[in-house]
Structure 1
Amino acid sequence: MLEIIYQDEWLVAVNKPSGWLVHRSWLDRDEKVVVMQTVRDQIGQHVYTAHRLDRPTSGVLLMGLSSEAGRRLAQQFEQHQIQKRYHAIVRGWLTEAAVLDYPLIEELDKIADKFARENREAQPAVTRYRGLATTEMPVATGRYPTTRYSLVELEPETGRKHQLRRHLAHLRHPIIGDSKHGDLRQNRSAAEHFGCQRLMLHASQLTLAHPFTGEPLVLRAGLDPVWMDALTHFGWRTLLPDNERVEFPSETDQDNADG
């Protein structure tokens, strides 16, 4: 079962585990365990997506319980009326707080986007970021005798595909575990020594006005064991007080989730 963060008669929000697809996709046509179907079976009613999280990203995923609710939420996302906050562990020391305005050319997947028309014109992409903590670990990576990491808070103001991964790579602080835009040598080292065997990117919080009542909503998602172990290794456990450890479904639970 998935952790339900919030539910009322119009909306449901869950804490998506890393490695789960939001819905069935060309990326993996044989994948039987997807968030939408699992939530549908769990709460006994259909759900409608309003935004997406990449498969390796964990955190808050908000859905409507009717097509109208999904439409209203999607409109809020499209009009940038919903504040998104992420946390990431990145390579090197990133200490400043700044806004990165760096347009991105659309990035298509060979499988998932094989029917999409490629657009080579760069699209506006803006990310606010803030370094929260740094550490230097006594582990050699490449020609360096130690390895540096940073904990970073991110607030994307636009929603381009892989925006946070690409923006941090542009800053030369790629996210640990990013196999496409990251540092493969650093990824292997972090996985071997600190258990970071996934993309270390977590959608921590969504802040919005309820699309039906207008009431303010702040939806927070707790961290999985991989994240908690990494924070312990790096001495950062107290830096994310709003996030508590969450027990995510085991492989057996996932195997059974589809009935």
Structure 2
Amino acid sequence: MKQIDILFENDQILVINKPCGIAVQGGEGIAHPLDKELPAQLGYPVYLVHRLDRDTAGLMIVAKSPLYAAQWTKMIGGKLVRKEYTAICAGTMPAKKGTIKTAVIQHGTEKPAVTHYEVLEEKNVSIEEKTVTLSKIHLRLETGRMHQIRIHLAKQNCPIAGDDKHGNFKINKLLRKACGIKQLLLAATSLTFPVDGRDKTISIPCPEHFQFQADC
């Protein structure tokens, strides 16, 4: 596995850029998970503070000790860390800017979930005599439910391109064939967190797989 980029480091945490397709935690049938590969790269153990889906790329915090992991997990729960994402979706949102407050079912229990969004760009593409609108959307999480962004956007009839679990499989098939979109187009592109009494923001561009065939 290629080297994982480290974008920030202090005595407590690292901020890394996780590539798409890498599982955060190991388990049955999972090869090269982040929690094994990153310690091997660094030469010392690290501890997960939060998670990203295997197919979601982008910024993550990992801690240098179990104590710091617990502290930073609590800070995320207390909304002292702001996580922002970029997605390319197949569809149009009901408004250019707004908040989605649809509850999400997790482990059989309904959990409140809040996602703020802003549409950055829209583009109509013609695929096999069908017009599909691709929307580039900026998202900010207020809660952190599993698959929250993917579920919220799908319920707005604007699912993330390449999302075969919550999205539109038929449209994804067309986009794969016509545009070369083969991966989930969702990335954690900005992270704001407290350091030495001040907020620090790290932002990254969208990953390479967002640069799909432009003339599809």
Q: TM-score range by the shorter chain?
A: over 0.9
* Letter matched to residue 50 of structure 2: H
* Letter matched to residue 96 of structure 1: K
**Could you tell me the TM-score, scaled by structure 1's length?**
0.77
Q: Secondary structure at 1:105's aligned position in 2? A: strand
- What is the rounded CA distance, in whole Å, between the counterparts of 2:138 and 2:98 in structure 1? 11
Ranges in structure 2 where 5+ consecutive residues have no aligned partner: none
- What is the rounded CA distance, in whole Å, between the counterparts of 2:193 and 2:10 in structure 1? 15
- What is the rounded CA distance, in whole Å, between the counterparts of 1:13 and 1:234 in structure 2? 35
* Correspondence for 1:250: none
- What is the rounded CA distance, in whole Å, between the counterparts of 1:234 and 1:224 in structure 2? 19
1:94-131 per-residue CA deviation (whole Å, 9 max, x = no partner) reads 3510011111221xxxxxxxxxxx433x2111110110
Identity over the aligned pairs, expressed in percent? Answer: 27
* Correspondence for 1:85: 84
Q: Secondary structure at 1:138's aligned position in 2? A: strand
Residues 195, 226 of structure 1: 8 Å contact kept: no
* Residue 69 (structure 2) pairs with residue 56 (structure 1): no
Residues 40, 46 of structure 1: 8 Å contact kept: yes
1:143-202 per-residue CA deviation (whole Å, 9 max, x = no partner) reads x53221100011110011111011001111011111111001111111112221011110
* Letter matched to residue 108 of structure 2: N
1:119 to 100, 108, 124: 108
- What is the rounded CA distance, in whole Å, between the counterparts of 2:46 and 2:156 in structure 1? 37
* Letter matched to residue 219 of structure 1: I
* Correspondence for 2:214: 233
- What is the rounded CA distance, in whole Å, between the counterparts of 1:216 and 1:158 in structure 2? 19
- What is the rounded CA distance, in whole Å, between the counterparts of 2:144 and 2:75 in structure 1? 12
Q: Secondary structure at 1:233's aligned position in 2? A: coil
* Correspondence for 2:121: 133
* Letter matched to residue 179 of structure 2: F
| Offset at residue 53 of structure 1 (A) | 0.2
* Letter matched to residue 150 of structure 1: S
Runs of 4+ in structure 1 over 6 Å off:
none
* Correspondence for 1:220: 203
Q: Secondary structure at 1:146's aligned position in 2? A: strand
- What is the rounded CA distance, in whole Å, between the counterparts of 1:181 and 1:68 in structure 2? 35
| Offset at residue 234 of structure 1 (A) | 6.8
Residues 92, 157 of structure 2: 8 Å contact kept: no
Query: Is the alpha carbon distance of 1:234 and 1:83 closer, same or farther for their aligned partners in structure 2, counting shifts above 3 Å?
Result: farther
Residues 86, 206 of structure 2: 8 Å contact kept: no
Structure with the higher strand share, 1 or 2: 2
- What is the rounded CA distance, in whole Å, between the counterparts of 1:83 and 1:198 in structure 2? 25
Q: Secondary structure at 2:214's aligned position in 1? A: helix
* Correspondence for 2:144: 159
* Correspondence for 1:70: 69
* Correspondence for 1:239: none
- What is the rounded CA distance, in whole Å, between the counterparts of 1:20 and 1:204 in structure 2? 17
Residues 120, 136 of structure 2: 8 Å contact kept: yes
Query: Is the alpha carbon distance of 1:41 and 1:221 closer, same or farther for their aligned partners in structure 2, counting shifts above 3 Å?
Result: farther
| Offset at residue 16 of structure 1 (A) | 0.6
- What is the rounded CA distance, in whole Å, between the counterparts of 1:30 and 1:221 in structure 2? 31
Q: Secondary structure at 1:177's aligned position in 2? A: coil
**Could you tell me the TM-score, scaled by structure 2's length?**
0.92
- What is the rounded CA distance, in whole Å, between the counterparts of 2:205 and 2:41 in structure 1? 20
Query: Is the alpha carbon distance of 1:170 and 1:30 closer, same or farther for their aligned partners in structure 2, counting shifts above 3 Å?
Result: closer
